[in-house]
Structures are given as structure tokens and as C-alpha cells.
Amino acid sequence: MAFDEEWARVRRGSGGGADLAVDAGQLGAVGSAAHALYQRLTRDGDHARPACFDAAIALSNASFRSGPALLTVHDRWNSQLRTLLDACANISNHLDHTVASHAKEEADIIARLSASKIDAYLT
């Protein structure tokens, strides 16, 4: 089913007034969870890397074929850990920005509505 069809079905099912709404608290909770995961991964995600690297070098120097394979595991772990850390940071930062941006937009809308009420009395 195409997005437009699915969205139209959802709108019909909810009386036609469906709109996307997210509570700032919900966004904040997801952002906080992403930040907590980032901090924990930064602290705990790198414990085995130095030992893995040392073992890979020692095995390689002793001409074991498992040495280069273990080095590949080491490199892949580093790459995936960095990717996950970047994703957590992006989620956290984006949601913080989204909450702040929507709060500012809400304040601007309220100010414009208040000004329009004053304009109605002046005309």
C-alpha cells in the first residue's frame, strides 16, 4: 500500500482530523536514552579493543593465520562502534534541536495570534 493511501485510510478512520503530534516529553525521553547509550558505549564499548589488537599482532608475528583475521575483527569492531556512537549522538542532538525549534515556533505562533487579536480591536 502506498503511503498516500495508507495516510488517507488513517485519516478516515480517525474522523478526518488525524495530525502528527509528538509531545516534547516523548522526544526528550528518546533523546535522553540516546545520550545515555552514547555515554555507556563510550565508556564500555572499547574495553576489549586493546587486548584484541595485542592478540592479533602477537598471532600475526607468530605466523598464525588467525592473527590477520582477529585484526579484521578488531577493525570492524572499531568501525561499527564509531558508527553507533555517531548515530546515538545524531539522534540526541537532533531531538534536542527539534524540541527547542518547536518550542520557539509555538511561542512565535502565540505571539502572532495575540497580535492579531489586538489588530482586530484597532480596526
The predicted-structure confidence for 37-49, as pLDDT tens digits, reads as follows 999 999 998 888 8
Residue 12 placed within a domain: no
Residue 78 placed within a domain: yes
* Residue with more model confidence, 21 or 84: 84
Nearest to 46 by CA among 19, 13, 74: 74
Residue 34 placed within a domain: yes
**pLDDT per residue as tens digits for the range 23-37:** 778 888 888 888 899
Q: Which domain holds residue 113?
A: 23-122
* Residue with more model confidence, 1 or 93: 93
Instruction: Write down the residue that cell numbers 502572532 correspond to.
Output: 112
Q: What integer is the mean pLDDT of 88-106?
A: 81
C-alpha neighbours within 13 Å on the C-beta side of residue 35: 11
- Residue count (the chain): 123
Residue 9 placed within a domain: no
Instruction: Give the count of domains, the chain.
Output: 1
Residue 13 placed within a domain: no
